[in-house]
């Protein structure tokens, strides 16, 4: 199988990144909250910082594939194009008078132009400058500068929308409306792009988009492939217990994993995903935010029947023990920088724990998280630093901004 991720720390071979583009230029002080950002970015500087991140990965022998290019190439294929447009242009969104005319116009665009519009968004004014508007009540009541198609700035965080877990890929149902369209883009890529043609036999640990208010949502920032057939999952404000059970059932049925440890995270913005407070730096070592504390955890294993699950409840003080047991270890090493509570909170907000391992004991981190990086180095971890003064405004670090699709196996 050409695509396989069986750990957080095996030598990284291939990864998907998304370079900031038009969608970031759409962020304003008025719409940033709706689009899940705490601030607007200086886009040119964010692009420069992202280019440094990609160049560093390439210098370590990692093949970097850019999401925008993969999407544009996929959209040249009729099946992928139909998959995306059928999901995006829905009568429930645009009404019966506008849906088909809009879909036809977007279907006429070349792949690269269509990809930019799908990710970067399009206003009514931009649309009418090029095409006559259909006679639609929905369009008539829109302001000229309202978005006909909302931008998707969170595509920057390729970790969340899809996640390779051992021998398969999960295309995730995202929690908030601002991110839900992202999933269909990755589904089109994985199902139809030539790069993934050889992965056609890989299990799809797949969720549909949220429908009818059902709360089964899960995001890749909460999913850590810790190795040895185990997965660590955070039940956060964006990943629900129901979705964790679904993930467990699919992984166990496919024979992809044998154990899931689920941590009950605080349901707050600062603890958005598990990887904002806990990531892995080698096969036995984690870096953890001091303010996380110890959490109630649950070990999930296959039950007696084909669809049964066995769940063991652990008190908070056993959190690290539950993770170690899932890995078949006597204990794990947990590194936490010693700081006063205010400094620790600031550094966690700057993604001090959100590191990306490029091989065991070698991680990429933001240069601004000085104390956390120093603590890692003091414990023998090599830290490769990148600037993040603008990228960090999105509340996501190197792990958030990367979707590994292939790692070397580790013992």
Q: What positions carry a catalytic annotation?
A: 400
Q: What angle do CA 138, 21, 87 make, to 5 degrees?
A: 40
Long-range contact list for 52-59, CB < 8 A, 24+ apart? Answer: 52/386, 52/387, 53/17, 53/364, 53/386, 53/391, 53/398, 53/401, 54/17, 54/19, 56/364, 56/384, 56/386, 57/12, 57/15, 57/17, 57/358, 57/364, 57/402
- Residue 389 CB contacts under 8 Å (≥ 6 apart), including other chains: 45, 49, 368
385: β partners: 365
Other C-beta atoms lying within 10 Å of the C-beta of residue 71? 25
If 0-12 CB within 10 Å is exposed, 13-18 middle and 19+ buried, where does residue 55 land? exposed
Q: What token pair was written down for 52?
A: 């440094």
Euclidean distance between CA atoms 300 and 361, whole angstroms: 28
Contact present, 266 and 253 (Cβ < 8 Å): no
345 touches 291 (CB < 8 A)? yes
Q: How many Å apart are CA 293 and CA 270, to the nearest integer?
A: 14
Taking every pair of C-alpha atoms in the chain, what is the biggest distance, in angstroms?
A: 68
Which SS3 state, helix, strand or coil, does residue 95 take? coil
Spatial contact of 86 and 102, defined as CB atoms under 8 Å apart: no
| 34 CB burial (10 A radius; 0-12, 13-18, 19+) | exposed
Q: How far apart are the first and last CA of the chain?
A: 18
């Amino acid at each position: 199988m050409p695509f396989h991720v069986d750990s957080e720390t095996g030598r990284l071979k291939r990864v998907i990144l998304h370079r900031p583009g038009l969608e970031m230029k759409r962020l304003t002080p008025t719409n940033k909250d709706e689009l899940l950002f705490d601030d607007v970015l200086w886009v040119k500087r964010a692009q420069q910082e992202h280019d440094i991140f990609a160049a560093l990965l390439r210098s370590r022998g990692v093949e970097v594939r850019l999401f925008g290019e993969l999407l544009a190439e996929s959209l040249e294929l009729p099946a992928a194009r139909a998959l995306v447009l059928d999901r995006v242009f829905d009568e429930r969104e645009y009404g019966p008078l506008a849906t088909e005319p809009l879909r036809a116009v977007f279907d006429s665009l070349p792949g690269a132009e269509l990809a930019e519009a799908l990710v970067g968004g399009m206003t009514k004014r931009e649309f009418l400058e090029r095409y006559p508007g259909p006679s639609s009540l929905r369009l008539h009541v829109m302001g000229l500068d309202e978005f006909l198609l909302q931008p998707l700035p969170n595509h920057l965080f390729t970790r969340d929308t899809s996640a390779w877990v051992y021998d398969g890929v999960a295309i995730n149902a995202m929690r908030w409306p601002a991110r839900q369209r992202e999933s269909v883009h990755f589904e089109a890529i994985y199902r139809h792009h030539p790069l993934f043609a050889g992965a056609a036999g890989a299990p799809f640990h797949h969720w549909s988009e949220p429908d009818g208010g059902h709360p089964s949502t899960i995001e890749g920032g909460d999913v850590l492939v810790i190795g040895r057939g185990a997965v660590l999952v955070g039940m956060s404000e964006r990943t629900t217990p129901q979705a964790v059970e679904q993930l467990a059932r699919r992984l166990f049925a496919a024979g992809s994993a044998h154990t899931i440890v689920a941590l009950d995270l605080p349901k707050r913005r600062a603890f958005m995903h598990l990887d904002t407070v806990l990531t892995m730096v080698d096969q036995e070592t984690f870096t953890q935010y001091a303010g996380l504390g110890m959490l109630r955890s649950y070990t999930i294993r296959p039950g007696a029947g084909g669809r049964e699950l066995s769940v063991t409840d652990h008190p908070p003080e056993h959190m690290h023990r539950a993770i170690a047991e899932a890995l078949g270890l006597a204990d794990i090493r947990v590194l936490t920088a010693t700081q006063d509570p205010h400094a620790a909170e600031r550094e966690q907000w700057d993604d001090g724990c959100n590191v990306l391992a490029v091989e065991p004991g070698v991680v990429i981190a933001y240069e601004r998280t000085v104390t956390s990086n120093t603590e890692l180095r003091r414990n023998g971890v090599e830290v490769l630093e990148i600037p993040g003064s603008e990228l960090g405004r999105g509340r996501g670090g190197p792990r958030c901004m990367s979707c590994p699709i292939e790692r070397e196996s580790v013992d």
